[in-house]
A and B are shown apart, each in its own frame.
Chain A
């Protein structure tokens, strides 16, 4: 036991002297490469995770809430939407519900037209679920009593003279303008534009909203809804709430926002994970090669010294361990520098986020990703450092000393 301990002490002594008195330049370069590899290991997962966070937040905040209740198989509408809404709102942890009527509509404006989605909402209810009301770029959100007003997404409203690539656009609608809406049942209405919103979520920004009251009247509906959006107090527990809602005897279909997105996000995550696995593999291979080369050169240059150490009675394991300790030191400092570098990159990208179709993406650095990267870096470099040290330390003493 004491032999093991004094052995480690000697390894540490030799490792430290070697770091202290070896080449500063090589040391700094190696540490920098390890730091960059670390950043590479952490960066991509943090962006992927950031994309997922953005997609999720967009879905929850603007599109569907945490959960959506939809008409059961075979029905177009949820009947008696009021009482279902009341029933769901009783459930502890549910902080809002918003019934919506959905219809495909054609919008006409100054000789231009665009087909998109029109929603009927109860503005007060909608505010309790989505945050669209906070994202008005012009004008105001709807009020409960509005019957001749419409609010339009920024993409659908469009810009003067600009052709939106494939997306519905009326090219320059402004607050106060009149827009004619043709409903699927053949009726048409003209509304005054009360507000324009921009959420960065393209499914939302291409849509328009009128009040449920107005839309029910046009479509001849009574207390019916195409969907009821449900907001929960905390995100991430949608599956639990879904079970809870079903246990209250709700007969309609209940979908989490993920299920509602039809596996699109799951698919994206899967593809991202493949990219990430490849990138991780490449980074780790680079780490192996770099550490291997550094320790290989180090030990080859110190062949004579290693022979002398053995000759004066220092066990080869102590010598090998001294190289492993050097590698641990280099990796530890490299990882620390990497954490610093990554923090700098993250800070920059938080201030100037990457813009994706779903909105701005902030790097989401998960502690588990950092720990995993540190662990894999250490594992890889210890192996890569051990092998060359072991090869040289096994050499015959006099051969090594003669160099």
Chain B
């Protein structure tokens, strides 16, 4: 369960202050699949960064499963990201020196998985995002959509209890987008994974339990969508 209370995030650039978040409160229950929508610049990425422990709000509180994550030391926050979170960056954020496979298994290596274990898991997840034949390619040898799918595979490889995805399908065709969303839905169902995903596409809505729309750093509206599992999940 993620609880964010009254989050603000103010960027000061010289004399100008940008209020990227102006007081956002949000609760995400365990196993929920939440979509965050809103215009460009409305604060979606900023919110996700804070929920993903990559940034600290100017004010407000965030607790995850009862832990006040803002009170944690940098070291604890790093461990929290490693062990509990999966994060898909809007700009993929792959390590250029590593191949697709190495990018994906790196965090498993850090978590102390055995070689057979992390190789098996990372090849499996790369196949599931359709990159079975691109594993030894490096970032410069992959298309934008392929890089995005490597980033998705990296976020999923350790079966994190919370997945935060910042427009994970922005560079994918609708067919591939659908397969990725089906994969998310299945993980959400089978592993009771909590997912918070930023999206621009209207047709993604059918996958979400709830849609949170941001407007100028504030929650504009919050819509409950479905109670039943998505047809793409569970199957």
Contact = CB atoms under 8 A, between A and B. Distances in A.
Interface stretch (B26-34, B80-88, B182-190, B198-206): B80-88
A10 B98 CA distance: 13
B65 interface: no
B58 interface: no
A49 B89 CA distance: 62
B75 interface: yes
Contact of A315 (B54, B55, B75, B102): B75
B145 to A, nearest CB: 19
B95 A398 contact: no
Contacts, number: 69
B75 A3 contact: no
A314 interface: yes
Contacts of A313: 78-83, 85, 107, 110
Nearest to B158: A313
Which among A309, A311, A313 has the highest number of chain B CB atoms within 10 Å?
A313
Interface string B80-121: 111101010100011111100010001101111000000000
A6 B114 CA distance: 10
A316 interface: yes
Given A17-B102, A311-B81, A10 B93 contact: no
A308 interface: yes
B112 A6 contact: yes
Interface in A295-314: 304-305, 308-314
Nearest to B91: A401
B49 interface: yes
Q: Residue among B78, B81, B82, B89 with the most chain A CB within 10 A?
A: B78
B49 A315 contact: no
A96 to B, nearest CB: 70
B112 A2 contact: yes
A258 B72 CA distance: 69
Interface string B51-90: 0101100000000000000000011001111110101010
Nearest to A302: B97
A150 to B, nearest CB: 80
Given A17-B102, A305-B95, A398-B49, A310 B78 contact: yes
A305 B96 contact: yes
Of the four ranges (under 10, 10 to 19, 20 to 34, 35 or more), the interface on chain B belongs to 20 to 34
Size bracket, chain A contacts: 20 to 34
A305 B81 contact: no
Given A17-B98, A21-B97, A22-B97, A311 B54 contact: yes
A37 B55 CA distance: 44
A143 interface: no
A17 B97 contact: yes
Nearest to B93: A308
Contacts of A318: 110
A251 interface: no
A52 to B, nearest CB: 50
A333 interface: no
Contacts of A22: 97
A398 B110 contact: no
A390 to B, nearest CB: 14
B68 to A, nearest CB: 19
Interface string A258-275: 000000000000000000
23 contacts: A2-B112, A3-B112, A6-B110, A6-B112, A7-B110, A10-B109, A13-B106, A21-B138, A304-B93, A305-B95, A308-B94, A308-B95, A309-B95, A311-B81, A311-B89, A311-B93, A313-B80, A313-B81, A313-B83, A314-B106, A314-B107, A315-B75, A401-B93
